[in-house]
Structure formats: structure tokens, C-alpha cells
Structure 1
Amino acid sequence: MIPALALYGIEKRFGSTRILRGVDLSVEPGERHALIGPNGAGKSTLFNLIAGGTRPNAGRIDLFGAEITRLAPAAITRRGLARSFQSTSVFARLSVFDNLRCAALLAERKRARWWQRFAGSRTVDARAEQVLDAVGLSVRRDVWAGTLSYAEQRALDLGIALAGGAHTLLLDEPTAGMNRSEAARAIELIREATAGRTLLMIEHDMDAVFAIADRISVLVQGRVIASGAPAAIRADAAVRDAYLGAGFGAGLGT
């Protein structure tokens, strides 16, 4: 099976500082894959490379077997990959529904001018309505996105990626800044709303990681030191020493 996302020997330097040191990573179609590691390990840099925000000094990145290493972010988005950031990126002075309608336009491949598609496309409206329900924001349909709570804006961020037709999602710390109840709702939302899609997620909340991920990779000092099922990562002595800590898992079960 061709991986949904594959990285081969990725190197990245800023000046004389090596950030990524030969990263190999593979995410299978439909897999939920978490990338964890200490601050400064290179996780956000890796996301920037995948999404086209910057280019590696060496290595190759493939999306479903097609190389995207040197494509611009817009071109990568058109190929079906979407990224959410640590901070929200909604259109604050548009309604929740219109944020989703704008995103749904990206899924339309017709050549009509954008305002004609926005005003008249039943497909766009139907897609926006479907995603609105999927991310639990139906009751907030007509309010300005800027008035949503932080957790609701993160849900809308996810909805924008889904409405745009992305089959592969990069989520950067989706539960950051949330309290425990908000994080629990966000975890359930991600599990339900991304069903059938490929997900690569950076997350520091280990409850979220072990609740969502099918597989986990651990990035330390620019290298992947382990990759495997959650149970294997939990039991890996090198991972405990480098990141999780000797006492990790005592309250999480087996």
C-alpha cells in the first residue's frame, strides 16, 4: 500500500544549526498518527516542511506517492492536505457558516467565478451544513467566528479543513490551551470528524495522544527515535528516558 504521507531522509538547517537530522516517517491511509517529543525537537519545523511553508535542505516528501517537497503551500492544499496551527486562523468577522462555505469552495473544481459559486452552489452549502453538524457548531451557525470561545474556534479550524475536502490533516496541538473538559470534547470531536481521513498530529497532552493515535512517532533532537503502536511506545525504555519519564503511565492503565 502506498503511504498517505512519507518522509525520506529529511534534513533541515537554519544557519549552522541542524534542526532535523535525517527524518524518515510514514503515515498509512486512514491512520491517526501522533508526533510527540520535547520542546525544540523539531516537530513544528517538520510540519512547516510538509505543508510547504519552508523547504528541506535534503530529503523527499511524498503525498500518496507524488512528491510535494518543493511545492508551494497552495499547491499542496489543492492536493488534499490541510494544516491547522497552534493559534486559530478563522475569519473573525464572518459567520461560522460563511467560514465553512469559504472553505467548501476549495472542494469545488468548477471554473465559475468565485462569487457565482459562493452565491449559487447548492453543493457548497450542503457541504458546509454537513461539516457544521460534524464539528458540533450548528447552534453557533450565524454568529461571528471571532465571538466563539477558544475551544469552539479550534473546532471551527478543524471544520474548515474538512470543508475544504482535505483527505490528509496536520493538526498542531489541537487541545493546547483547553481545560480538561474542553480537551475531552475536542478529543471526541477529532475522533469522530476525521474518521476515514489520514491524520498527523503534534500533541503534548498524553491523554489526547493515547486516546486518538493508532501509531506514535517520537522525535528527539531532530531524529525519530521510536515509532509504533501506543502500547509499544508506552513500554519503550528509550522513549521513557528521552521524553515520557520513568513514571509515565501510572495513571493511564495498560
Structure 2
Amino acid sequence: MSVALQLRGIEKRFGATPILRGVDLAVRAGERHALIGPNGAGKSTLFSLIAGERRASAGRIELKGVDTTRLSSAAVARRGLARSFQTTSVFARLSVFDNVRCAVLASRLGWAGCVGRWFGSRDVDARAAEVLDAIGLAPVAQHAAGMLGYAGQRALDLGLALAGGAHTLLLDEPTAGMNRAESARAIELIRTVTAGKTLLVIEHDMDAVFGLADRVSVLVQGRVIATGTPDAIRADAAVRDAYLGSGFGS
């Protein structure tokens, strides 16, 4: 199976403080890969490096075999990677439809090109409508995004990541702040709308992780200490000691 995302020896330091200490990770094309670990392990920092928002201090990042280590976030996005964040990033005053429409335009023209091309594109409108239908928000397309409930805004965040047709998605804690029922619905939505895409997801809800992921990697103190199937990670003594706890799954 081909590799969609390859990290080799990734290091990140802030001043003299090491955050990531030689991260090696391979995410296979089309798989759902979860990244778990305690707070402060470096998970979100790693996402920001992959997405081109920050620069690695050392190491190499490849997206479908192309070195993206020093590319800008816009250039990485054009290569087919999209990211959602821990907190919702919607434009609250715009309609749900226009939020997605803006994301489609940005993926094609860049944010600077959106202003002059805001109106008159049937292709963009059709793509936005397709995304809204997929994430279940078509009935509220004309509502202000800020009027959506929390779960609805998280679904819209997912739609914004999908809008440009990216082949690889980074989802940062997509079920954060949700109750158990909302989390289950969110995971089912992710499973459905990301079919055929490569997914790397940070998540603290272990039910969500083990219900969604094909493979799981564990990041502790800036290092990947284990990668394997959910069952293998659940049974790994080192992972239990470092993160899951001795009573997990018992």
C-alpha cells in the first residue's frame, strides 16, 4: 500500500526547549490513522508542521512523495492536504452555505482571490451544495453559521476541510466538547464523508479512536512510542503505562 504522508526524523524546538524529538510516522493512503497521547506531547505542534503553518527544526515531511517540509500552508493545501482545528473556525455572520462556498473558492484561488470571484460561479455553488448535503447541513444552508449548535459547527468545520477536495485530512480533536451521543454521531459522519481519503486525527475520546481508526500512533514527550492496530495499542504495556492507564479496557 502506498504512503500518503511520511514523516522522517521530525524535530521541533522553541528556543532551547525540545517539543518533538525525532518523530517517524507513515500514514498509508486511504487509511484512518489516529494520533493519541497526553496533553503537551506535541500533537498539535506536529499538525502545524505538517500543514505548513510552522517550520520543523529538523527532519522531512512528504505528502504523496513530495517534500513539503518548507512549503507554506497555502502551498501544502494546493498539494491536497486540509486541516480542521480544536476550536471551531467558521465565519459566524456568514450563512452556512457561504462558509463552504468561501472554502471552495479559497482552495481554487487562494484567499486573496476570493473577493473578486465571490459571485457568479455555478461550479462553486454546486460544490458547496454537494458538501453541505454530505455533512447533513443542507436544510440549514441559509442560516447564519453562528446560529448552529456546537455539534453543527463542528460538522461545518469538517465541511470546510472537505470543500477543496483534499485527499489527506488532519482533524484535531473533532469530538472535543461533545457528549457521548454527539460524539458517536460525529464519528459516524467522519467515517462516511472521508471514505476513500487519508485521515490523520488527534482525539482524546478513546471510544472514538478505537471505533474509527485503522491504526493508532502514540506520541509521548515528543516521540512516537508505538504504532499498531487498535487492538495492539490497547494491549501494549508501554502504552498503558505512559498514557492509557493500567485499568483501560478492563
Length-normalised TM-score, structure 1: 0.94
What is the aligned partner in structure 2 of residue 60 from structure 1?
60
Unaligned runs of 5+ in 2: none
**Cα RMSD for the two superposed structures:** 1.5
Given that 1:106 and 1:165 are in contact with CA atoms closer than 8 Å, whether structure 2 keeps it comes out as: no
Deviation at 1:49, TM superposition (A): 0.7
**Within-5 A mapping of 1:188-199:** 188-199=188-199
What is the aligned partner in structure 2 of residue 15 from structure 1?
15
Length-normalised TM-score, structure 2: 0.95
Given that 2:106 and 2:114 are in contact with CA atoms closer than 8 Å, whether structure 1 keeps it comes out as: no
Matched, 1:134 2:134: yes
What whole-Å deviation, never above 9, does each CA across 1:59-118 have from its counterpart, x for those lacking one?
Answer: 000000001111111111111111111111111111001111111224547xxx746744
**Within-5 A mapping of 1:220-235:** 220-235=220-235
**Within-5 A mapping of 1:205-220:** 205-220=205-220
What is the aligned partner in structure 2 of residue 99 from structure 1?
99
Q: Distance in 1 between matches of 2:92 and 2:24?
A: 38
Q: Distance in 1 between matches of 2:25 and 2:48?
A: 15
What is the aligned partner in structure 2 of residue 176 from structure 1?
176
Given that 1:84 and 1:158 are in contact with CA atoms closer than 8 Å, whether structure 2 keeps it comes out as: yes
What is the aligned partner in structure 1 of residue 146 from structure 2?
146
State the secondary structure of the residue aligned to 1:13. strand
Runs of 4+ in 1 over 6 A off after TM superposition: none
What is the aligned partner in structure 2 of residue 35 from structure 1?
35
Q: Distance in 2 between matches of 1:58 and 1:30?
A: 27
Deviation at 1:166, TM superposition (A): 1.2
Q: Distance in 2 between matches of 1:107 and 1:40?
A: 31
Deviation at 1:211, TM superposition (A): 1.0
Given that 1:118 and 1:124 are in contact with CA atoms closer than 8 Å, whether structure 2 keeps it comes out as: no
State the secondary structure of the residue aligned to 2:219. strand
Given that 1:23 and 1:222 are in contact with CA atoms closer than 8 Å, whether structure 2 keeps it comes out as: yes
Matched, 1:237 2:241: no
Deviation at 1:188, TM superposition (A): 0.6
Q: Distance in 2 between matches of 1:117 and 1:125?
A: 12
Given that 1:108 and 1:124 are in contact with CA atoms closer than 8 Å, whether structure 2 keeps it comes out as: no
Question: Which one-letter code corresponds to 2:104 in the other structure?
Answer: A
Given that 1:52 and 1:76 are in contact with CA atoms closer than 8 Å, whether structure 2 keeps it comes out as: yes
Q: Distance in 2 between matches of 1:225 and 1:65?
A: 24
Identity %: 74
Matched, 1:48 2:13: no
What is the aligned partner in structure 2 of residue 166 from structure 1?
166
State the secondary structure of the residue aligned to 2:83. strand
Question: Which one-letter code corresponds to 1:121 in the other structure?
Answer: S
Unaligned runs of 5+ in 1: none
What whole-Å deviation, never above 9, does each CA across 1:108-141 have from its counterpart, x for those lacking one?
Answer: 47xxx74674422222111111110111111111
What is the aligned partner in structure 1 of residue 5 from structure 2?
5
Change (3 A) 1:192 1:15: same
What whole-Å deviation, never above 9, does each CA across 1:122-161 have from its counterpart, x for those lacking one?
Answer: 2211111111011111111110001111111110010011
What whole-Å deviation, never above 9, does each CA across 1:146-200 have from its counterpart, x for those lacking one?
Answer: 1111111110010011112111110000000111111111011100011111100
Tell me the matched-pair count: 248
Given that 2:37 and 2:43 are in contact with CA atoms closer than 8 Å, whether structure 1 keeps it comes out as: yes
Deviation at 1:217, TM superposition (A): 0.2
